[in-house]
Amino acid sequence: MTHAWDPQRYLTYADERGRPFVDLTTRIDATDPKVVVDLGCGPGNLTSLLADRWPSASIAGIDSSADMVRAATDSPAAEHVSFHRADLRDWLADVTPGSVDVLVSNATLQWLPGHLDLMPALVAALAPGGWLAFQVPGNADQPTTTIREELAAEPPYDAHTAGAATVAAHDAATYLRALRALGCEVDAWETTYLHLLPGPDPVFTWISGTGARPTIQSLPEDLRPGFETELKARLAVAYPDGGAGVVMPFRRIFVVASCPQAGPPRVTCVGAAS
């Protein structure tokens, strides 16, 4: 089931969403890369930080959402970044092996079923000594996820939500082992941010721009308001406002891998993740 992203809703908490990107890319020890690619660039606001860091590099942002690419192309980031619409797996199938110096994927891989099988192709895209950096959510056991899943499984919603896209990610150790097996040096870690979110129904606003969006969009118009009202109510119980805003734990899994100077295995098949 397809869904559309809303760049403005996604950017509601742009600063909070941007912190993992900054923490991730800070650990990339590339001094003078020639080609840098952001897979899943979204509206381009974070991709522009790559252009700031490596102004002499050719920077490209790739996203499967036409709305996101349109927003990125219309943003100031487009002055220094070229944005293109493509599915990540299609891009991997077409990219020249060994042609990318830095490959970043921020909060994207979790949307691709079987994405662990993409690790050989991601590494193969890198030049010798190149860098792969990505981060994914680690909140599968948090109320932001479990409450939505429980509500979506209840009638009358369950008849419509079964095919909605869902997020799935691995722990840091799993990614570390997979990339070490490909000859990479790997730095993998986890961080839980504590975001203080103001305003009415802030946790709903947060997840309705990301993880909950496919579920909400899978519902017909007559059922959507009731689902949203009940989801807001349940989230308010799980995340009470103490008077200064809602504290929302935000756990993320980070991986930064450097390829051997001799070059990684040139594996380009991505069919396993389709």
| Total H helices, total E strands in the chain | 12, 7
Interval 103-108 mean pLDDT: 96
pLDDT of residue 254 exceeding 90, the answer is yes
7-273 topology per CATH:
Rossmann fold (3.40.50)
- The pair of three-digit structure tokens given for residue 212, joined into one six-digit string: 């909950």
Q: Which pLDDT belongs to residue 262?
A: 61
Span 140-158, pLDDT tens digits: 999 999 999 999 999 999 9
The region, left, alpha or beta by phi > 0 then psi within -120 to 50, assigned to residue 107 is: left
CB 247 within 8 A of CB 196: yes
Interval 103-111 mean pLDDT: 95
pLDDT of residue 231 exceeding 90, the answer is yes
- The pair of three-digit structure tokens given for residue 134, joined into one six-digit string: 């990505």
pLDDT of residue 265 exceeding 70, the answer is no
How would residue 17 be classed by pLDDT, with cut points 50, 70 and 90?
confident
Straight-line distance from the first to the last Cα atom of the chain, in angstroms, rounded to the nearest whole number: 14
Domain ranges in the chain? 7-273
What is the DSSP secondary-structure string of 133-174? EEEEE--TTSHHHHHHHHHHTSTTTHHHHTTS-------HHH
Q: Which pLDDT belongs to residue 13?
A: 52
- What distance in Å separates the CA atoms of residue 49 and residue 244, rounded to the nearest whole number? 31
The region of weakest confidence among 8-17, 66-75, 115-124, 250-259 is: 8-17
Full-model pTM: 0.88
Span 119-135, pLDDT tens digits: 999 999 999 999 999 99
Q: Which pLDDT belongs to residue 14?
A: 59
- The pair of three-digit structure tokens given for residue 14, joined into one six-digit string: 């742009």
Span 162-185, pLDDT tens digits: 989 888 999 999 999 999 999 999
pLDDT of residue 9 exceeding 50, the answer is no
- The pair of three-digit structure tokens given for residue 139, joined into one six-digit string: 């909140």
What average pLDDT does the structure give for the chain? 89
pLDDT of residue 188 exceeding 80, the answer is yes
- The pair of three-digit structure tokens given for residue 197, joined into one six-digit string: 């979110």
Span 71-100, pLDDT tens digits: 999 999 999 999 999 999 999 999 999 999
- What distance in Å separates the CA atoms of residue 33 and residue 100, rounded to the nearest whole number? 8
CB 46 within 8 A of CB 71: no
Burial class (CB in 10 A: 0-12, 13-18, 19+), 274: exposed
Which of 2-6, 119-123, 202-206 is the most confident on average?
A: 119-123
pLDDT of residue 274 exceeding 80, the answer is no
